[in-house]
Structure 1
Amino acid sequence: MLRVAIAVMLLFGALPAQATEAGWALLRNGGHVVLLRNAMTTGTVEPPNFDIEKCATQLNLSDRGRQQARKIGALFAARAAPVEKVLASRFCRTLETARLAFDDQVVEPLATLDKPTEATAEVDVAAILDIIRNYSGSDNLVLVTHLENIQALTGASAREGEALIVGLQGERLHVLGRIVF
Structure 2
Amino acid sequence: MVIMRLLLLLLLPLPAAASTDSEAWQALQEGKAMLLMRHTHAPGSGVSSGAVLHRCDTQRNLDEQGRQEAIAWGNRLKEHGINQARVFSSQFCRAQDTARLLDIGKVKPVPALNSFFLTRERRSLQAEQLKRFITGLEPGRPVILISHQVNISVLTGRFPAAGEALILAFPLENRPKVLASIRP
Specify the alignment match of 1:52 in structure 2. 53
Q: Is the 8 A contact 1:38 1:94 kept in 2?
A: yes
CA RMSD of aligned residues (A): 2.8
Structure 1 residue runs without a partner (length 5+) = none
Give the letter aligned to residue 110 of structure 1.
V
CA separation of 1:112 and 1:13: change in aligned 2, threshold 3 A: same
Separation in structure 2 between the aligned mates of residue 53 and residue 16 of structure 1, nearest angstrom: 41
TM-score by length of 2: 0.81
Q: Is the 8 A contact 2:90 2:115 kept in 1?
A: yes
Specify the alignment match of 2:158 in structure 1. 156
Specify the alignment match of 2:65 in structure 1. 64
Mean Cα deviation higher: 163-172 or 133-142: 163-172
CA separation of 1:16 and 1:58: change in aligned 2, threshold 3 A: farther
CA separation of 1:66 and 1:20: change in aligned 2, threshold 3 A: farther
CA separation of 1:6 and 1:58: change in aligned 2, threshold 3 A: farther
Separation in structure 2 between the aligned mates of residue 163 and residue 151 of structure 1, nearest angstrom: 12
Query: Between Structure 1 and Structure 2, which shows a larger proportion of strand residues?
Result: 1
Q: 1:7-55: CA deviations, max 9, x gaps?
A: 7987899998666544323323333222111001122243342121211
Structure 2 residue runs without a partner (length 5+) = none
Matches within 5 A, 1:81-160: 81=82, 83-103=84-104, 106-116=106-116, 117-160=119-162
Quote the offset at 1:150 in angstroms: 0.6
Count of paired positions: 180
Secondary structure, in 3 states, of the residue corresponding to 1:120?
helix
Secondary structure, in 3 states, of the residue corresponding to 1:128?
helix
